Amino acid sequence: MAQTGPEPNDLFREGALASLLRLQWFIRMRFVMVGVALAALAVERFVVPGGYRPTGLIATIIVTGVVNVVWMLMSRWVARDLHAGMDSHGRAMHRARQFANAQVTVDLLLLTLILRYAGGLESVLAIFYLFHMGIGALLLRPMQAVIQGTWAVVLYACLGLGELGGWIAPHYDLLPYLPAPGLYQHHAYVLVAVLVQAIAVFGTLYFTLRIAQRFGEQEAQLRRALTALRSSRQAIKDLQARRARFMSTAAHQLKSPLAAIETMAGLIRDGYVKDDAAQQTVESIIRRCRDAITGVGDLLTLARVQQADPHRHRTTRCSVAEVLKAVCTPREAEARRKGLTFALDLPAGDVLSAHIDAADLADCTDNLVENAIKYTPGPGAVLVVARRIQRPAADDAVALDFVEIEVTDTGIGIAEVDLGGADARSVRSPIFDAYRRGNGAIEAGIPGSGLGLSIVREVMEQAGGEVDVRSQIGTGSTFRVRVPAAVEGVPAAPAAGPLGVATGGAAAATSMLW
Amino acid sequence: MYVEVPRILLIDDDRDIHESVTAILHPHGYRVTCCWTGPSGLAELRRARPDLLLLDIMLSSPTEGLDLAREIRGDPEISHTPIVLISAMGRQNHLPGRTELPADEYLEKPLTAERLVGSIERVLRAHGRVKSDQ
């Protein structure tokens, strides 16, 4: 049979078993019992001179002590394996359970022998059967505990019925100097005693097993909470590390234009720039000032998007068509000045309602359109298309409605290595990382903050959308974003987007600052 | 080995830094070649074997320049190239603790003519490639 993980209730039993083994609780109790019994018999011998005790009783108590020494030696071996880092649900735990099972089995047999020499069915020492049932139900698996209960009842019944039927010699009394009641000779008493003992044994088992089950469920809940806590702690540590890296990179990107400005101003001051070139250097200084301002603006946009409540998208409906018109109108003029043809293709009679914050969608699409124009030399073309599509959900069970926006250009394209390989065209592509820029863009000397695409990814992840890219050097690029469509009469999209990226607070926190 | 006109290769994604470095080094008798990216810079390094490499750390990714410097140091054909790393970020931000710098020197931006020329002369002298008039 294949090895499976422990049942939730076993978690508690295993914990209790391990603790008891470590403390050698069974062993200590048994040594105390043996010591107390032998001391009581010794005192009795002096206090009650006529008290006679059979050799069998003393021998059984001594055998219990000797067997206990064996258990003690074995328990060190079992406990060592259990705490030596072995698989806690594997062989060591199985061995520990067998060890406890064996102790209960032998204890019940020795207890019956002691009863045989100390009162038989009439002895009050029979209460110790119940003591073992409580321990067995807490530590053993339920079926093992029930078998031990049956074993106890069988032993007790054999003792009573054996004496009654004359198959075994009559027992010795617990207190031989008192008149013997002789109840063991009455059929009715023996039957009632065995029946009461059976009810007590299985009743104890039932209630203790139920309590152990409750403890087990609580233990499982605590362990799940602990696992979740550890995982959250790790997520927070990862987030802090990413935040530190991001801060360091952002500081560098903000310092770079300032450093270039200081260097160029120094060149003018120190006479490295001739008078006729000074004007050009001043223009460069002004341009770098603008770069710095743009970089700070993009950083503020990213911070705003990350800090906003990610649930706002699901409770919002915006017209993608209207947002695209607002974004594309000024960009179209810019494209034409650069000698590019520009087209916005929207379906007739459909406002393309979607669950996304309008301002965030505008930021997102404006970055894509701005990039398309920026990285396409004239003559060329930029095409923006929006349409309604159906995509399977994360579990492939239901097709969900999305609004897809596609921005295609005939520009310089992005090298496969910058996209992160042939298969990395999704949101995981490093081109969406903050401050990551393609070598082609750097080579062409096209300025950029390196934050535009990380803003796009952040918005899409929060809105439960998708983003992907296809590009080829010299041919152009196509960026595609899909946002959950808002359908009349249909409630907002579920929290988990088709990427499997939850849009809840915790997920948003971990997606911050890539 | 004495060099008449030391050739400096600059790898930096910032055009203004190209122009500034050229403006500073040219009057001091250096010939400067500029590359924008790591791959094109490495190809130029293998082809032209310059006397010194000025390498920006943050290129297309935050640590591309450091990775490139380590690659150069690990390639026996070009590992002897003197390297001066430049970056707007302090050295401790790139290489915390006692991590070894895969270069001869580190220069933090903003660059000034005095610091840049001083660093290049120091590194060239250490490699026995000082200008013949020094």
Per-residue pLDDT of chain A (514 residues; tens, 9 = 90+): 344 445 555 666 676 666 666 657 788 889 999 999 999 888 888 887 666 788 888 899 999 999 999 998 888 777 776 666 555 556 777 888 888 899 999 999 999 999 988 888 888 889 999 989 988 888 888 899 999 999 999 999 999 999 888 888 888 888 777 777 788 888 889 999 999 999 999 999 999 999 888 888 888 899 899 999 999 999 899 888 878 878 877 887 788 899 999 999 999 999 998 888 889 999 999 999 998 898 888 888 888 887 777 788 888 889 999 999 999 999 999 999 999 999 999 998 888 899 998 988 998 999 999 999 999 998 999 999 999 998 776 555 667 889 999 999 999 998 887 887 766 566 677 788 877 777 777 777 777 777 888 889 888 888 888 898 999 888 999 999 999 998 766 555 444 444 433 333 333 333 333 3
DSSP reduced 3-state for A485: strand
Q: What is the pLDDT of residue B21?
A: 96
Q: What is the pLDDT of residue A514?
A: 34
Buried b or exposed e, range A252-268, using 16+ CB within 10 angstroms: bbbbbbbbbbbbbebbe
Does A293 reside within a domain?
Answer: no
Q: How far is CA A281 from the centre of its chain?
A: 57
> Cβ of B60 and A436 within 8 Å?
yes
Say if residue A227 is in the same domain as residue A318: no
CA distance B80 to chain A (A): 26
Say if residue A219 is in the same domain as residue A315: no
Kind plus residue range of the DSSP H or E element containing A139: helix A127-139
Tally of CB atoms within 10 A around A335: 23
> Cβ of B59 and A245 within 8 Å?
no
Pair of tokens at residue A16: 């209790």
Which residues, at least 6 apart from A478, have a Cβ–Cβ distance to it below 8 Å?
Answer: A406, A407, A408, A409, A469, A470, A471
CA distance B65 to chain A (A): 13
Does B13 reside within a domain?
Answer: yes
Q: Is there a contact between A139 and A182 (Cβ–Cβ < 8 Å)?
A: no
* pLDDT above 70: percentage of residues in chain B: 87
Say if residue A185 is in the same domain as residue A332: no
| Tens-place pLDDT, residues B5-61 | 899 999 998 889 999 999 999 999 999 999 989 999 999 999 999 999 999 998 877
CA distance B52 to chain A (A): 21
Say if residue A209 is in the same domain as residue A327: no
| pLDDT bucket at B105, cuts 50 / 70 / 90 | very high
Does A254 reside within a domain?
Answer: no
Mean confidence (pLDDT) of chain A: 83
Say if residue A225 is in the same domain as residue A316: no
Residues of chain B numbered 46-85 and touching chain A (CB < 8 Å)? 58-62
> Cβ of A259 and B13 within 8 Å?
no
Q: What is the pLDDT of residue A508?
A: 36
Complex ipTM, two decimals? 0.87
C-alpha closest to that of B10 among B47, B39, B46, B52? B52
Say if residue A158 is in the same domain as residue A46: yes
Say if residue A44 is in the same domain as residue A184: yes
Q: What is the pLDDT of residue A9?
A: 55
Query: From CA B32, how far away is CA B29, in angstroms rounded?
Result: 10
Pick from A232, A265, A292: which residue ends a domain? A232
Give the residue numbers spanning the domain of B105. 1-59+101-124
Does A267 reside within a domain?
Answer: no
| Tens-place pLDDT, residues B119-131 | 999 999 999 877 5
Q: Which residues of A touch B14 (CB under 8 A)?
A: 256, 260
Mean local confidence (pLDDT), B95-101 = 69
Q: Is there a contact between A174 and A118 (Cβ–Cβ < 8 Å)?
A: yes
Does B7 reside within a domain?
Answer: yes
Query: From CA A29, how far away is CA A483, in angstroms rounded?
Result: 68
In DSSP terms, B11 is beta-bridged to: B35, B55
CA distance A267 to chain B (A): 7
B20 touches chain A (CB under 8 A): yes
What CATH number is given to the structural domain containing A370?
A: 3.30.565.10
Does B68 reside within a domain?
Answer: no
Does A214 reside within a domain?
Answer: yes
Provide the domain count of chain A: 2
Tally of CB atoms within 10 A around A202: 16
Residue in A closest to B114 by C-alpha: A270
Pick from A211, A232, A253: which residue ends a domain? A232
Say if residue A12 is in the same domain as residue A144: yes
DSSP reduced 3-state for A371: helix
Give the residue numbers spanning the domain of A366. 311-511
DSSP reduced 3-state for B51: coil
Q: What is the pLDDT of residue A489?
A: 62
Does A103 reside within a domain?
Answer: yes
Does B129 reside within a domain?
Answer: no
Q: What is the pLDDT of residue A274?
A: 85
Say if residue A315 is in the same domain as residue A223: no
Amino acid at B79: S
Residue in A closest to B24 by C-alpha: A272
> Cβ of A260 and B17 within 8 Å?
yes
Q: What is the pLDDT of residue A85?
A: 54
Does B41 reside within a domain?
Answer: yes
Does B85 reside within a domain?
Answer: no
Does B76 reside within a domain?
Answer: no
| Tens-place pLDDT, residues A123-164 | 888 999 998 998 888 888 889 999 999 999 999 999 999 988
Mean local confidence (pLDDT), B92-112 = 80
DSSP reduced 3-state for A496: strand
Does B67 reside within a domain?
Answer: no
Say if residue A316 is in the same domain as residue A432: yes
Does A249 reside within a domain?
Answer: no
> Cβ of A248 and B93 within 8 Å?
yes
What CATH number is given to the structural domain containing B115?
A: 3.40.50.2300
Query: From CA A141, how far away is CA A163, in angstroms rounded?
Result: 33
Residues of chain B numbered 111-130 and touching chain A (CB < 8 Å)? 111-113
Provide the domain count of chain B: 1
- pLDDT above 50: residue B70: yes
